Amino acid sequence: MDSISLNKYISDTGICSRREADKFIETGRVRLNGVVAVKGNRVEEGDEVLLDGKPLRNNPKRIYIAFHKPRGLTCTTDLRDKTNVISYINHPQRIFPIGRLDKDSEGLIFLTNDGDIVNKILRSRNGHEKEYIVVVDKELAPDFVRRMSNGIPILGTTTKKCMVEQKGRSIFRIILTQGLNRQIRRMCEYMGYDVIKLKRTRIMSIKLDDLAPGKWRYFTEVEMQEIETLLEESTNSYE
C-alpha cells in the first residue's frame, strides 16, 4: 500500500474516528514500529502499529446503521454515562455515532465503525442536509418563517440561510446544512420560543420514515450507493 497518515490508518481499522485517533496518538497510546508515535507519522506496508500494546487488526466489515434515537438517550461513546446510545443498541462490533442529537431530542442518527466517513458527513461546508420537525410552546408569529430562514444570530455568528416551512400553528419543518451546538433550540430561543419537541426526520438522502423509536436498521444497498454518490465531492478535514 502507499503510505497513509497514522490517524487514517487507525480509523480505517474501524475502532474510532480520526479525531479520536489523534487523541490516542497525543496521549502516547500508539507505537509505530516500537517507537511512541507522534501526529504526522505515516504508515507504510509492513509497519507495526500498536494501540495500548496491542496490534490493530485489519479492516472489519464496515457497518452503517440508521437509528431512531428516543428522547433520553445521549449520543456519546462514554459508557460511564448510563444513558449512552452505544450500550442501548448493544451491537457486537464497536460503533460510534456520526454527529449528535440532543438528549431531549429524538429522531434519526447514523452509527458506524467507519472513521473515514464521519468528517465528510459532518463538515458543514459539504452542505449535507438534515431535516427536522419542531414543535414550540406557542403560535408562530407571521414573520417567524422569514426570520428563521434568513439567519439568526447565535453563538457569535449568524446561522446560514435555510428552508423553513410552517406545518401547523406551532409546528414547523426546517432543513439545515449546519450543525451548531443546539442550533434549532438556540434559534427558537432567540425568537422567543421554547422547543417542546424536536425530531430529526432525514439526514442527506436517508429518511426516518416508519422506523420506531428505539429501533435501528442497517443501510440498504441503495442507500449506501446514494450516500457514496453524495460524498464523492465532499472534503475531509483531515485530508
* Residues involved in catalysis: 102
Grid cell for residue 134: 419542531
Length of the chain: 239
Grid cell for residue 188: 427558537
Q: How far apart are CA 213 and CA 206, in angstroms?
A: 16
Q: How far apart are CA 224 and CA 126, in angstroms?
A: 18
CB of 58 within 8 A of CB of 185? Answer: no
